[in-house]
Amino acid sequence: MKKIWRWLLAALAFCAAPAGAEDKPYVVLALSGGGIKGYAHIGVLRELEKEGVGVAGIVGTSMGAIVGSLYASGRTPAELERIVMDVNLGELVTASGGNYFNLSDKATRDISMIRPEIYTDAHNKVAGPLGFVAGTSVLEYIAQLLSHVTVTDFRRLPIPFAAVATDLVSGEKVVLRRGSLASAVRASMSIPGVFDPWEINGRLLVDGGMVSNMPVETAKELFPGYPVIAVNLTSELEPREKLSTVFDVVSQSITILTMQNVRREATLADLVISPGVKEYPILGTSPAVEIIQQGRDAAVKALPQIRALLKKAPRRPVKEKELAPPKPPHVMGVHVVGVPEKMGKEIERELLKVWLGRPVPMKEIVAASANIAKREDVRSVDYDLLNTERGVIVLLKVQRFPAHRYSLGGYASTYSDMGWLVIGSRRYDLFTPGDTLQSSFYLGQRWGADFNYFWDMDVSHSSFWEAGLSASHFRIDASGAPLEWQRYNFDVQRHFTLHERLRLSAGVSATAARRVEGGESANYVAPFLEATFNLMDNPDDPVNGWLLNARSMWPSETGTMLMRLSLTGRRRISSKLMAELQGGFAEGDMDDKRLFSAYLGAREELYSLAEHPIEAERFAWWRAKLRYPLSQTIFGNVIAEIFGGQGYAWGSDGAEIARPWEVGVALCAPRRLIDGKLYAVYTDRKEWRFGVSVGVPNWDAFHLF
């Protein structure tokens, strides 16, 4: 009798239970590309969830692939909103934030911020670059956001997904359904001429918008039996009077390329939702909140059509093909391709020690890929999981730079006569696999040349040797007393990482220096040590944290220790306003030769002292800034800056020599384009000074310490 009652109660509970996840109407989404207009997809998704609409599959192109993949992987619309609010798209795309704080690592410093850059292979045949920015930082960021995904068959995601790209060689549409989800998204968003094309399985892929910007046809093919809701972000063509910037031209060109395939595929959709995002640029900057709201408004407006469509929609997912339940994956091997054999075997051994026999550690795989990508000769690292009867083989696919890289850069400032044109080159695999020879030639009133050879690098470039040979001519006009020297230097040092945030370098240098006027000379040997402690929250786009760099050397000429400390801190005050604090201390030796004096202003510690630095035994300085982005472009931010700072200089007897200060405003042009600044500075001498600087200075090429 008790058994009968239990069965009856179970039956009643089943009948009274609310509709489950299977008992609701399901549709398929086709999400179009559109740059930052793609934030509107998040608003549409939020309203569809609110309406109780099930999503049986998503097909995305470009920005639609980014949003679609994150949602398909289990991210909620609320999470997606937080992601787009927190990320600085311009800094992420150009990865210029990381270069800004990379103070001393010559092996990983960007070869050219401006990017007149040429790659050649081992036979001196031109091999790139193929886009304005590499986009590897975007790949790494998306990989981090998708590190919870443990499958490489996109059909096995919480919501089945596919990304659309274009084969640059054949012009064919390529539908990506397996492999690295982040890599598929990176390929789908490769706007030609802006991003480098992305290689997957031997095919060179660019933005899917070239052939299918709103992939309704693919959605119908992959998920038959479902109504397809398409979200269209394609703009109409702008009249001539509205084409006033290069970004307007790029946006108009993309619209011309995509509008024909969008119009054709719109006729195949069961419903097209078109958010009002016409006024927003594809590559510029606009408030994410506004664009997301446009998506919500468009979805709400379309609710009558959506509800009518849902009446015909399946009440449970229709399987395109019954997939066998996946076995719990365990790592049974690691295979690395795209690198010299010896290097690949070393990486495989290191990773197998940690991963063998364990369930697939996706977060660790993403972290290992990013770690290998830190190597100076590595352009990007992709991954895949190969299922076998015995377990999973983790496949790491490394793309290295071509054998040679040549660049053109430089620096110029009206605040001082420091200025030079820089011709740079890097050559890989010169003597051993993975080694690097970096050469730089500085042309100007102050000439210089340096050659740095890096070898014996470990898997993540965290430990390696460096040998350097350099020559330079420098001039300092300290308080009206000019000083000119020629210097020739050779050094050997070892770089290593004690912690992911602490890097050390130690070595010894031999220097011969000769004064141009007077013939005085100084020949000395100096052991040196350098440490960098990085507490920034994000190396590519830091918004909070500190970075400390300390350098010291003991020249045999003086027998005293010379030291230089620098500190940089950042804190986000609001969604746009950023506070930044910089400061430092230098200890020199103010002897008769003046070779090792500490020169306040020589490295633009205070802009107003750059032309005539203050010679001292030691000095300290600080500068505080408030930075506000006026606009954002694919090349970086245009920033308005208010700053103020002060310096303190002391003589060899310990007495204070000077306490200069300055306040001012600056307009900073995008770092990736020209890294230009327009200054207006008011000094302690009660005078205004105006100036312009362009490019990235490399003070180490000229200053002795």
- Per-residue confidence (pLDDT) for residue 9, from 0 to 100: 35
**Cβ-proximal residues to 321 (8 Å cutoff; 6+ apart), any chain:** 155
Amino acid at position 292, single letter:
I
Domain CATH number, residue 30: 3.40.1090.10
Strands (E), 429-577: 436-443, 448-455, 464-478, 481-499, 502-515, 521-534, 544-553, 562-572
For residue 488, give the nearest of 466, 467, 509 by alpha carbon. Answer: 509
State whether 431 and 532 are in the same domain.
yes
Residues 394 and 481 in one domain: no
Q: What is the pLDDT of residue 2?
A: 43
Q: Mean pLDDT across the stretch 59-82?
A: 94
Residue 192 is given by DSSP the state: B
Same domain, 83 and 206: yes
> If we measure between CA atoms, which residue out of 511, 441, 436, 504 comes closest to residue 466?
436
Percent share of the chain, pLDDT over 70? 85
Catalytic-residue membership of 62: yes
Asked if 434 and 494 sit in the same domain, the reply is yes
Catalytic residue among 110, 183, 188, 207: 207
Task: Assess whether 273 and 348 both reside in one domain.
Answer: no
> Of 53, 50, 25, 49, which is closest to residue 312 (Cα–Cα)?
25
Over residues 117-159, the pLDDT tens digits come to 888 887 888 877 877 777 777 888 888 889 888 888 999 999 9
Give Rg (Cα) of the chain.
29
Beta bridge partners of 198: 205
What would the pLDDT profile of 499-543 be if each residue is shown by its tens digit?
778 999 999 999 998 888 777 888 899 999 999 999 888 655 577
Beta strand pairing call for 392-400 and 331-337: parallel
Q: Is the pLDDT of residue 3 over 80?
A: no
> Residue 659: what pLDDT?
97
Banded pLDDT at 5 (limits 50, 70, 90): very low
- Supply the DSSP symbol for 400: E
Nearest-angstrom CA–CA distance, 447 and 514: 15
Residues 281 and 143 in one domain: yes
pLDDT of residue 541: 58
Average pLDDT, integer, range 186-206 = 88
What band does 245 get if pLDDT is binned at 50, 70 and 90? low
Q: 164-168, 197-201, 679-683: lowest mean pLDDT where? A: 197-201
Q: CA-to-CA distance for 527 and 510, rounded, in angstroms?
A: 9
Task: Examine the fold and report which residue of 248, 282, 311 is the final residue of a domain before the chain moves on.
Answer: 311
Where residue 587 sits, what CATH number does that domain have?
2.40.160.50
Show the domain range for 480: 423-695
| Residue 590 CB neighbours (<10 A) | 18
Whether 255 and 353 share a structural domain: no
Q: Partners of 230 in the beta sheet?
A: 30, 272
Average of pLDDT values for 49-78? 95
Q: How many domains does the chain have?
A: 3
Whether 99 has a pLDDT exceeding 50, the answer reads: no
Tell whether 634 is covered by a domain: yes
Of 537, 532, 543, the C-alpha closest to 567 is: 532
190 and 131 Cβ atoms separated by less than 8 Å: yes
Residue 480 or 560, more confident: 560
- End-to-end CA distance of the chain: give it in Å, rounded: 93
Within 10 angstroms of residue 620's Cβ, the number of other Cβ atoms is: 19
Residue 341 resides in a domain: yes
How many whole angstroms from its chain centre is CA 517?
47
Statement: residue 483 has pLDDT above 70: yes
Q: Is 214 among the domain residues?
A: yes
Q: Which of 48-52, 329-333, 491-495, 605-609 has the lowest mean pLDDT?
A: 329-333
Domain end residue (candidates: 243, 276, 311):
311
For the stretch 573-595, pLDDT in tens is 987 799 999 999 999 988 777 78
Q: Is the peptide bond before 287 cis (omega within 30 degrees of 0)?
A: no
pLDDT at 173 over 90: yes
Q: In this predicted structure, what is the pLDDT of residue 321?
A: 52
Classify residue 128: in a domain, yes or no. no
Look at 201 and 468; give whichever has higher pLDDT.
468
Does residue 342 sit in the same domain as residue 243? no
Predicted TM-score (pTM) of the model is 0.78
pLDDT tier at 96, thresholds 50, 70, 90:
very low
Is the pLDDT at 67 greater than 70? The verdict is yes
Q: Does 10 score more than 90 pLDDT?
A: no
pLDDT digits (tens, 9 = 90+) for 204-240: 999 998 899 999 999 999 999 899 999 998 777 777 7
Check residues 624 and 367 and name the one with the higher pLDDT.
624
pLDDT at 4: 41
Least confident segment among 66-75, 382-391, 499-508: 382-391
Residue 412 is assigned to a structural domain of this protein: no
* pLDDT of 491 above 90: yes
State the pLDDT at residue 117: 80
Catalytic residue among 62, 69, 413, 597: 62
The pLDDT value given to residue 7: 37
Mean pLDDT over each residue of the chain, to the nearest integer: 84
Residue 656 pLDDT more than 70? yes
Indicate if 589 belongs to the active site. no
3 state SS of 672:
coil
Whether 390 and 431 map to the same domain: the answer is no
| Residue 9 DSSP one-character state | H
> 451 falls in which pLDDT band (50, 70, 90)?
very high
Q: Do 306 and 335 fall into the same domain?
A: no
Residues 147, 290 within the same domain: yes
The answer to whether residue 110 sits within a structural domain is no
Whether residues 504 and 613 fall in one domain: yes
**4 domain-assigned:** no
**Least confident segment among 38-47, 405-414, 486-495:** 405-414
Tell whether the model's pLDDT for residue 322 goes beyond 70.
no
- Answer whether 23's CB lies under 8 Å from 315's CB: yes
CA distance 69 to 490: 51
The answer, yes or no, to whether residue 30 has pLDDT greater than 90, is yes
Res 17 pLDDT > 60: no
- pLDDT score of 20: 42
Question: In this structure, what CATH number is given to the domain that contains residue 380?
Answer: 3.10.20.310
Q: Is 116 among the domain residues? A: no
pLDDT band at 56 (very low <50, low <70, confident <90, very high): very high
Distances (CA, A) of 299 to 219, 262, 410, 609: 20, 19, 50, 58
Q: How confident is the model at residue 638 (pLDDT cuts 50, 70, 90)?
A: confident
Q: What is the DSSP string of 14-78?
A: HHHSPP-TTSS-EEEEEEPP-GGGGGHHHHHHHHHHHTT-EEEEEEEETHHHHHHHHHHTT--HH
Distances (CA, A) of 555 to 67, 278, 363, 509: 57, 64, 46, 9
